[in-house]
């Protein structure tokens, strides 16, 4: 790893390990990487700001966080404050009734008669980020028979937007995600299909926007296999 010298100002520093490689980041951007196939799980003290044998950090350290999994590049950018998530309550940590909402405000659902009996409930039994996630129990034969959506999202039509989320399912199943005009004046575009597994994984895609106020739609039916949703993100891309 290279040596870096810091001025008297705050920086965001992160390291992420995916089981094979450790990556180091400075202000959201990867600066170094090296192979590392394992992490020392000994019960000794965790050292931050020192190697324990001569090197000691001289400066301030704040907002220390340790995660039980490797972080993606987009998550590091978000933590560094370089990407603003346009989705409120993205990890469902705040109490919120996820209901068929005629005001189309924040998280809500929609379904025709064919999707009656579907449920979207914030639970604390499983999660990848924080203590909660959204458990979705869909009904209906077509994927649009139960839709979980977030609205409204104000966007810049000159930009593309990165959509990402974490999900796991009770059994392998497909899931479709798309962006649509908030007032339904323009039909959905950029619909992307994902194959969920029984393990938590991050899914993402990039979309253009065709209008300046949009909504994110997650088409949950087509199969009645329940699944969990967490850490949903819509951020401005390049």
Residues 111 and 226 in one domain: yes
Residues 71 and 111 in one domain: no
pLDDT of residue 181: 95
In the predicted structure, residue 1 carries a pLDDT above the cut 70: no
Residues 39 and 122 in one domain: no
Residues 112 and 67 in one domain: no
Residues 111 and 70 in one domain: no
Terminal CA-to-CA distance of the chain, rounded, Å?
29
Is 94 within a domain? Answer: no
pLDDT digits (tens, 9 = 90+) for 77-96: 767 766 678 898 999 998 88
State the alpha helices, DSSP H only, in 99-232.
none
Q: What is the largest CA-CA distance in the chain?
A: 68
pLDDT of residue 104: 55
**Cα–Cα distance, 108 to 97 (Å, whole number):** 8
Give the range of the structural domain holding residue 20, as residue numbers without chain letter: 13-79
pLDDT class for 112, splitting at 50, 70, 90? Answer: very high
Number of domains the chain is built from: 2
pLDDT of residue 145: 97
Residues 123 and 175 in one domain: yes
Residues 141 and 27 in one domain: no
Instruction: Using alpha carbons, select from 175, 169, 171 the residue that is nearest to residue 222.
Output: 175
Is 18 within a domain? Answer: yes
CATH number for position 126: 2.60.120.260
Task: Write out 10-57 in H/E/C secondary structure.
Answer: CCCEEEEECCCEEEEEECCEEEEEEECCCCCCCCCCCCCCECCCCCEC
Is 86 within a domain? Answer: no
pLDDT digits (tens, 9 = 90+) for 23-54: 898 887 888 888 887 666 655 667 777 766 66
Residues 112 and 170 in one domain: yes
């Amino acid at each position: 790893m290279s040596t870096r010298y810091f001025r008297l100002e705050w920086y965001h520093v992160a390291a992420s390990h995916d089981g094979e490689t450790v990556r180091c980041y400075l202000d959201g951007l990867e600066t170094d990487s090296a192979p590392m196939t394992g992490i020392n799980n000994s019960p000794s003290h965790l050292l931050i700001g020192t190697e324990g044998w001569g090197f000691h950090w001289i400066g301030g350290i704040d907002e220390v966080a340790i995660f039980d999994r490797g972080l993606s590049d987009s998550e590091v950018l978000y933590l560094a404050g370089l990407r603003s998530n346009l989705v409120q309550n993205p990890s469902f940590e705040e109490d919120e009734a996820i209901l068929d909402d005629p005001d189309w405000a924040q998280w809500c659902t929609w379904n025709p008669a064919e999707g009656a009996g579907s449920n979207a409930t914030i639970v604390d039994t499983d999660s990848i980020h924080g203590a909660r996630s959204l458990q979705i129990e869909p009904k209906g034969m077509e994927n649009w028979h139960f839709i979980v959506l977030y609205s409204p999202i104000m966007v810049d039509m000159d930009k593309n937007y990165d959509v990402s989320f974490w999900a796991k399912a009770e059994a392998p199943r497909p899931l479709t995600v798309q962006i649509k005009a908030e007032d339904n004046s323009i039909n959905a575009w950029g619909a992307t299909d994902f194959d969920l597994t029984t393990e938590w994984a991050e899914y993402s895609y990039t979309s253009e926007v065709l209008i300046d106020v949009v909504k994110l739609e997650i088409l949950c039916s087509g199969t009645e296999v329940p699944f969990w949703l967490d850490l949903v993100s819509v951020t401005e891309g390049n």
